[in-house]
Amino acid sequence: MGPVTALLVAFSALLGLAVGSFLNVVIWRVPRGESVVRPPSACPRCGHAIRPRDNVPVLGWLLLRGRCRDCGEPIAVRYPLVEGVTAVLFGLVALRFAAAPAAIPAFLFLTAVGIALALIDLDVHRLPNALVLPSYPVLAVLLALASVDDWSAMLRALIGGVALYAFYFALMFVSELVLGRTGMGFGDVKLAGLLGGAMAWVGWGALVVGGFGAFLLGGLASLLLILTGRGGRGTQIPFGPWMIIGAALGVAVGEQLWSAYLQLLA
């Protein structure tokens, strides 16, 4: 890793800490229909506003020893974990696209949205339109800016987004028609278009691996829950997080895995 790449990764990781702090607000407030801007963050027990010095990502939680400064109420460890994981993932995105830095803003944005949506889906089994729908034009603009020297990538993104959206829509429609119920919601369908566009921008291999990976990982998770007695055939398992993890896998190593697979067939 050269010094420029190292600096880019470090800057992205620091940005991730700040973004992760904001994502904690988004994850809590968006499902409740609350503003993510006002009022300022406060302790849910005593109502005291969180002081700026206590709002420093990760470090603030550590210095407070995980408790509110005013009332001593425990602060969930999830808050610094979200900040730390966001920082790590932002750094990895910068490293992945160091050779194509114009793509970094698009995939940093998708990473932030993905983290928020995954945790919201785990919490409330819902993928809010307030996050998914505005992400379409934002991601489209960012990917277009990254495609100035290669418009074929943008065309591939458009085709991939439509294709994965249509595939998920067909799955939902068929399961409803045949089984009388559907294992996925329309939120998953809308998310598929967003993720499909991003994966296809990277390449067809990323789209195939990421799309298949979501079902593989989700299926393994469901099987594990059944084997451990923590779920049954009727247990509702949020699929959004697995779609997002699958997309991350596709973007990270999908092209390499797809090329290796094609070589095995040759």
Q: What is the DSSP string of 165-191?
A: HHHHHHHHHHHHHHHSS-SS-HHHHHH
d(CA 80, CA 16): 12
Res. 23: pLDDT tops 90: yes
Res. 177: pLDDT tops 80: no
Q: Domain locations in the chain?
A: 1-99, 103-266
d(CA 258, CA 246): 14
Res. 180: pLDDT tops 80: no
d(CA 176, CA 249): 29
What is each CA distance from 103 to 106, 136, 157, 178, 221, in whole angstroms?
6, 16, 13, 41, 31
| Model pLDDT, residue 231 | 65
d(CA 208, CA 185): 21
For 214-234, write each residue's pLDDT tens digit.
Answer: 999 998 988 888 787 776 666
Indicate the SS3 state at residue 73.
coil
* Number of helices and strands in the chain (H, E): 10, 0
d(CA 77, CA 83): 10
Sign of CA dihedral 169, 162, 160, 96: negative
CB 251 within 8 A of CB 96: yes
Work out the pLDDT band at 54, boundaries 50, 70, 90: confident
CB 169 within 8 A of CB 196: no
d(CA 38, CA 41): 8
The verdict on pTM exceeding 0.85 is yes
High-pLDDT (> 70) share of the chain, %: 96
Q: Residue 47 class from Cβ within 10 Å (0-12 exposed, 13-18 middle, 19+ buried)?
A: exposed
Q: Please give the structure tokens belonging to residue 232.
A: 């049954």
| Model pLDDT, residue 181 | 63
Work out the pLDDT band at 235, boundaries 50, 70, 90: low
Average pLDDT value for residue range 140-146:
97
127: phi > 0 → left, psi -120 to 50 → alpha, else beta; which? Answer: beta
Average pLDDT value for residue range 185-192:
94
